[in-house]
Amino acid sequence: MKRPILFLGLLTIISLSVLAQNKLPSPRYGAAVVHYNDTAVYIYGGVVQDNSKSNTTQSTNDLYHYNPSNNTFTKITPSGDELPLACGAYMAYDHNTGKMIVLGGLRTTSDNAFYSFDPYAFQVSKKTQQPYSQRGYMSGGYTGGGNWLLSGGQLANGTASSAVYEYNGSTGTFTQKSDIPQGTALYGHTSISDTLNNKVYIFGGLNGSGTNNFSCYEFSTSTNSWGFGPNWQNYPQNEWTAFPQQVVHY
């Protein structure tokens, strides 16, 4: 019996060594996730368990790099400005500038600036204040030309927003667009971008009363107007999930 025990002990030591090198993020929710050049994934922020207090959670500004080629995580400590402690932020990679943008998020301070992260220099830069109040779980859809359509979001008081803005990555500026129609306020919804036809579709998520949204809305970037997208009403309600992955069609 000594040999199996010794073998299991050796496996345990090896496993602990691998985990020490592979800095797995602790369990969390509300983290922002972005793909980088199809070679890496960055994970930022979210809410984690406070190990010093049982059943207590806190927001974090952790930034992790995941390498899918060897299935490893690395915790990044960037130089420059410090990223805010945030939950439900939106993060996107700007192919034109080669940098990532951090927008929105429910934060622990009144700071409402947006940030950029340079994955080459591992440096964070604090930018100007965003034109909207703090909000988490807003949805973003790439509209082409270095622009993103940002819609909805959960406000600090727990209600939802119907506001829509366009972010221009080249100038770092925001332009307000037409609100989500029918007075609909959403957060945790998904944006699907169709840059070939100048459309962005939003669906799913939760509305202002905290119930599931089953409507699909279509935004035309050429006319700055909303319409209805494909009919999703035939989908079983139990197949709808709030806070799904963002989907982009370039």
User: What CATH number corresponds to the domain at position 189?
Assistant: 2.120.10.80
Q: What is the pTM of this model?
A: 0.82
Closest among 37, 38, 165, 60 to 103, alpha carbons compared: 165
Closest among 177, 107, 98, 181 to 140, alpha carbons compared: 177
| Tens place of pLDDT per residue across the chain (250 aa) | 444 433 333 333 323 333 435 678 899 999 999 999 888 999 999 999 876 666 788 999 999 999 999 999 999 999 999 999 999 999 999 999 999 999 999 999 999 999 999 999 999 999 999 999 999 999 999 999 999 999 999 999 999 999 999 999 999 999 999 999 988 999 999 999 999 999 999 999 998 888 888 899 999 999 999 999 876 555 544 444 445 444 443 3
Could you give phi then psi for residue 30, rounded to 5 degrees? 75, 20
Residue 120 lies in a domain: no
* CA angle in degrees (0–180, nearest 5) for 41-45-46: 110
Residue 180 lies in a domain: yes
> 238 lies in which domain range?
131-250
How many domains, in total, are found in the chain? 1
Residue 23 lies in a domain: no
Residue 189 lies in a domain: yes
Residue 149 lies in a domain: yes
Question: What is the chain's Cα-based Rg?
Answer: 20
Q: Which two tokens stand for residue 183?
A: 């007075």
Residue 202 lies in a domain: yes
> Going by DSSP bridges, is the β-strand pair 63-67/135-136 parallel, antiparallel, or unpaired?
unpaired
Residue 19 lies in a domain: no
Residue 232 lies in a domain: yes
Q: Is 81 exposed, middle or buried, given 0-12, 13-18 or 19+ CB atoms closer than 10 A?
A: middle
